A and B are shown apart, each in its own frame.
Chain A
Amino acid sequence: MRFMVIVKATKESEAGGPPDPQIMEAMGKFNEELVKAGVMLAGEGLRASSKGARVRFSGNTRTVIDGPFAETKELIAGFWLWQVRSKEEAIEWVKRCPAPFNGESEIEIRQVYEMEDLAPAMSEELRASEERLRAQLASK
């Protein structure tokens, strides 16, 4: 299973200043543990929303809005993609993560859709036609 693990933004991350070196070091060690455990697929830190933009979709209209964005709780500061066997394992790894910021913060865990989740259920017609094809081939 894959999970996206999202570090929510805080006023600190949105301020855009240099990251706390102690936190960086602790995070570096944590990332190493994830790599050594074969769990880490990808991970990046994101620049503050002042460097970003949004595109709003409304009918056929597209509106571009430049950052920064005011609602910090709508924003993210970074993410990982992990490969683990269960949501519980993802939670357990997150618990071992060093605090990403000096103040209060939150890390969210979201499961990635796998192919099986997205594959359309076989319709009855499709199933019936597959049966017919098999029968045809079997009789050859």
Chain B
Amino acid sequence: MSGADIHRAIEAVWRIEAARVIAGLARIVRDLDLAEDLAQEALVVALEKWPVSGIPPKPGAWLMATAKYRALDHFRAAERSGRKHEELSRELIERERLPPDLVSAVDDPIGDDVLRLIFISCHPVLPTESRAALTLRVVGGLTTDEIARAFLVPEPTIAQRIVRAKKTLSQKRIPFEVPRGLDLAARLSSVLEVIYLIFNEGYSATSGGELIRASLCEEALRLGRILAELDAREPEVHGLVALMEIQASRSRARVNATGEPILLLEQNRALWDQLLIRRGLAALERGSSLTSFRGPYLLQAEIAACHARALTAEATDWGRIVQLYTELARVTPSPIVDLNRAVAVSMHAGPEEALRLLDPLLSEPLMKNYHLLPSVRGDLLARLSRHAEAAAEFERAASLTCNAREQTLLLERALVNANAAARVSEH
């Protein structure tokens, strides 16, 4: 194996093992920063030794054992120097000089360690972009450089975010536990938010030219699937996975050969990935069977499933979609949900009724700079042959979007409607 080959192979091992190693260490040393440092030290040793000795048959166990020995060295050095090592948890030092049975500490067979790690790396005390970066690093095993390239952000920025995040977790003494009781809902919601943020970052860039950065979608899907196995009793986890699988199923149909976005109803459904749709529907079934109260992710997944099940756009069950949006509006009231509901109503009952539903949104402060509101209004007005008004709405929408491709699409629609209005006024 060449030097570059073995390096890539070791990177692959790291991506598979990182979360379990870091999580197991964090349980023992009770500090994520120290745990990650120890894990990284073990990786450095692996990068030195494995090109010579070959990759061991149980590389995860090897990394874990190496990291534990490093941990022992840290504790012994702290003890020898007679002063409290600031990275060690205070309790640990007060209780005993060395954690007992450090080397033989039982490795976690159930996976609770990784679950704890996910809850920590997604802790709401951290800003969302820090949670995303930290999670991709310690749970996903991505390098700082990979994360930076995926988010189109300079590497030092990501490095700083991760460093500051770990410091915050240390300083605030965030306990390394799976949250329970009343705390659980909020903490879980924070985790799902991070995973979905990563997915959306990949699914549609908020600025710049390209709509899809596939690898982030894959990362988010993978994190979601891992979480669904670790915490199988949570319906919203399955809801999120279902939503992501179904949305990802459309990725080949969303963008045309020149990179322009294609609206859902105009997509070539033969390009929808049936494997992902099947997985999404299965996850949806799994989540729905656990509860009679559907949360926001399950509801959004149900809506996505309505589209996924329709063989053609005309076959879409809009009545059901309207009902689901009504339920969603009750669970998470928001002008964006109202907007989407109005679109569904326009398909089910006609553009006139939908336009009326949009009126209260016009004075909604959150909607002031949201390009989809004028975009939807423009569409409804065009369908009512109110072309001049439609053109104005599309131009307004184009001015509000940061995405170059979407802007092109909107300006095209403005042009088409302006021409139609001109033709009408000529008669």
Contact = CB atoms under 8 A, between A and B. Distances in A.
Interface of A: 1, 35-39, 41-42, 81, 83-86, 88-89, 91-93, 114-116, 119-120, 122, 126, 130, 134, 137, 140
B117 to A, nearest CB: 14
Chain B interface extent, by class: 20 to 34
Contact of B111 (A36, A41, A42, A120): A36
B275 A81 contact: yes
A135 to B, nearest CB: 12
Contact of B11 (A81, A88, A122, A130): A88
B222 A38 contact: yes
5 contacts: A41-B275, A85-B215, A116-B214, A137-B408, A137-B412
B396 to A, nearest CB: 14
B279 A41 contact: yes
B257 A39 contact: no
B93 interface: no
B221 A38 contact: yes
B16 A92 contact: yes
A16 to B, nearest CB: 28
Contact of B257 (A41, A81, A89, A120): A120
Given A42-B275, A137-B408, A91 B221 contact: no
A92 B9 CA distance: 7
A37 B17 CA distance: 10
A36 B229 contact: yes
B415 A89 contact: no
A135 B224 CA distance: 43
B128 interface: no
A92 B223 contact: no
A36 B223 CA distance: 10
Given A37-B222, A92-B12, A137-B415, 15 more contacts: A36-B230, A37-B16, A37-B226, A38-B221, A38-B224, A38-B229, A81-B275, A85-B215, A88-B11, A89-B15, A91-B12, A114-B214, A137-B412, A140-B411, A140-B418
Contacts of B224: 38
Contacts of B13: 92
Interface in B271-286: 275, 279
B152 to A, nearest CB: 18
